[in-house]
Amino acid sequence: MSIILGLLICVSVGIITLAVISYRAYYQHRINKQLHDETLRTRRLLSPFAFSIITVFVVLIVFTAVTAFMALTDFGAEKVPSEYRTAIYEYQAFSPSQMTGYRRHFSINENPGYTKTVEYQGDIRFIIFTREEAFNHFHPSFVIYAEYTGDKDILYYGVQGPFFAPDGRQMTGMGHAGAEFEGYICVIGTSNINSRFELSVGLFDSGLKGEDPFEYAAVRETITIEIPNPENNTIMVSAGISPP
């Protein structure tokens, strides 16, 4: 807000300066014309000083009204703790053919340093690996495999993955749909602070439709992962439960 306030002050000063300079030029031009044409002398003009006072007064009223509105809006807005504004929340979804580079070291069966949990939701089997040690930048907090076990001819997949603060406020949200499905997907993500990650997987047996393709998904399932802070490394999985 301080940046916006500074910009408003600069704009206000600029408006006042431009208005006063313009009026002074007009005033001098008008006075010169009146000296040569007596018929124009019947119209009295404000002095540049009086015009300057009125301009400053009007701009101050507008400036005060705008800043008051901004203050009220900011006061009523939901406050987000600074630790959540600067925290790391991120994930990516990969098809089997994209499991290259560092990703090739992860396995759907076992991953050293991670606790394995399996959840079945409808026709999707979720294999969840959660990191046992504290956060670091070189190892993701979780690796989730979503494997389709049904008999539909799935062509594409989509994912949605918002992160939530412990009180339920959504901190960030990302998603996409339309990637080619290859039997399963792998979601790799991390968070360096106490948070909750909700993963929704949508599987499509036809082309994507509508503004929200997930409404037309042939299969759609959700799991929620609680990611506590480094002092408590137990990570709980709640299938199909959404944050409040």
pLDDT of residue 243: 35
Dump pLDDT digits (tens) for 23-41: 888 888 877 776 776 665 5
Alpha-carbon gap, residue 238 to 3, rounded angstroms: 42
pLDDT of residue 108: 93
Amino acid at 52: S
Cα–Cα dist 82/145, whole Å: 32
Determine the Cα–Cα distance for residues 4 and 70; give it in Å rounded to an integer. 9
Q: What's the topology of domain 84-239?
A: Immunoglobulin-like (2.60.40)
Domain ranges of the chain: 2-76, 84-239
Ranges 118-127, 141-150, 158-167, 170-179: which has the least confidence:
170-179
Q: Which run of H or E residues covers position 168?
A: none
Quote the tokens at residue 167: 């009180």
Mean pLDDT of 101-126: 93
pLDDT of residue 82: 64
Cα–Cα distance between 204 and 174 in angstroms, integer? 19
